[in-house]
Amino acid sequence: MSEFLSMAAESISHSVGLDRPTNACDRVLVAEDDPMLRRIMQSWLDSWGYQVMVAEDGAKAWEILQTEPAPQLLILDWMMPTIDGLELCRLVRERGKSPYQYILLVTAKDNKQDLVRGLEMGADDYLSKPFDRSELRARLRTGRRILTLQDEQQRIVEALHYQATHDGLTGIWNRAAIFDLLRREFEIAARSIHTTGIMMLDVDHFKKVNDQYGHRAGDAVLREVPRRIQQVVRSYDLVGRYGGEEFLVVLPECSPNEVEVCAERIRLAIAGEQVPVGDSAISITVSIGTAILEPASNSEIGALTAADTALYNAKAKGRNRVVSSDSISTSLLSRTPR
């Protein structure tokens, strides 16, 4: 983790040193009712490498701010028709759009109370008229540094969230995350008439793969299994690593028959082609236990227990097969999920 944060910090340090705009903040809105000044600023900004959008009044500026991707650097004249710069500041801050938009308020006012009012309404900086080219560029660089730091910080947050919710080897949901998603599906199902399908999968004889071909080959198998699962399930079905060589699949709005059909499709996809590992090709199969989550009759823990018991039964019957919890004696369903 410390190495990851160190690399991120290095990335931030490098980014803020760039002289030209970065992708995070290269879109600039100029809202100015003076056509001559508007053209001058657009010419300067174009020469500095920015993507420039212009508005002759506040209403047009607010319309541009509704587009995607919206500009992140805003140069707003205080005095404009329809909506002035101060009101635009208020609207932008009340909306609370992410990512943050940096506002440079341009004004001929030089009263300290007016400037304080502008900052309190949401402006990040101000530029007093008349201003020259170098002053505008310097203040935009300040905004760029802040936006670039924000962009890099957001990347770190997203990377850390990914690490916290995904399995490091396979890239699919980890155990904690897939449990949380299962609970979410239970809550959704409880408010509807739909049932949710659950599958527990276990790679057959996985220890032999590690013993015969080595752990790198075993890792290759563990990466390949969820890849093949995701190829044959729906885009919104959920695939997670339950632990070791076991995987959990959650299928929202799925009937018992659909779960069985999908499970058999997965089994065939995994057994139908060997996994290439270096100069070798490894044949693998999986055992699958299925269950139905129906809030009217069971809980997410109960359905998970049933699927796990069905998996245990599939392995006991010789592996490489699908067993439904409906086909198992109810006395066996008291087993606790592994």
Which residues are marked as active site?
Answer: 245
Question: Length of the chain in residues, anyone?
Answer: 338
CA gap 63, 59 in Å, rounded: 6
Cβ contacts of 223 within 8 Å, gap of 6 or more:
169, 170, 171
209 φ, ψ to 5°? Answer: -60, -50
Cβ contacts of 163 within 8 Å, gap of 6 or more:
1, 4
132 sits in which H/E element: none
Torsion angle of the four alpha carbons 103, 109, 113, 118, in this order, in degrees rounded to the nearest 10: -20
The pair of three-digit structure tokens given for residue 75, joined into one six-digit string: 């140069």
Long-range contacts: 149-158, Cβ < 8 Å, 24+? 149/12, 149/16, 150/24, 150/99, 150/100, 151/15, 151/22, 151/24, 151/25, 151/99, 152/8, 152/11, 152/12, 152/15, 153/12, 154/99, 155/8, 155/11, 156/5, 156/8
Place of tokens 């208020």: 90
Nearest to 323 by CA among 336, 335, 307: 307
Contact 236, 317 (CB under 8 A): no
| H-state helical runs in 48-123 | 58-64, 85-95, 112-120
- Which residues is 201 bridged to in the sheet? 247, 288
Helix then strand then coil, in percent of the chain rounded to 5, is 50, 20, 30
Alpha carbon 63 to its chain centroid, in Å, reads 28
